[in-house]
Amino acid sequence: MSEADVVRAAQEYDRLGAEAFFAEHGFGPSRTYELVWEGKRYPHKALLGTAYEFATGERLAPGDFEGGKAGAVTVLGKLGFTIEQRHP
């Protein structure tokens, strides 16, 4: 999985909108963290799971990996993305 896969997931999120994106890819809104890209905020775990699906063809369920600092936050950070606390 690469930075390009995450960008593709963000573009899909923008194209579909939140509800359709979540329905299509099996995730929901972020509770604690968000990915910030090009001035927009995205559900980080949903983007990572979708990017993984784009890269491998395998779908992950939300329970298959952690969204916090030990999981999605670290992976996305290593790919060069900014992750911030979710705004209430």
Calpha distance 38→49 (Å, rounded): 20
**pLDDT tier, 88 (very low <50, low <70, confident <90, very high otherwise):** confident
Q: Give the number of other Cβ atoms within 10 Å of residue 59's Cβ.
A: 12
Please tell me the pTM assigned to this model: 0.91
pLDDT at residue number 45: 94
Report the pLDDT averaged over residues 18-38.
95
pLDDT at residue number 5: 98
**pLDDT tier, 62 (very low <50, low <70, confident <90, very high otherwise):** confident
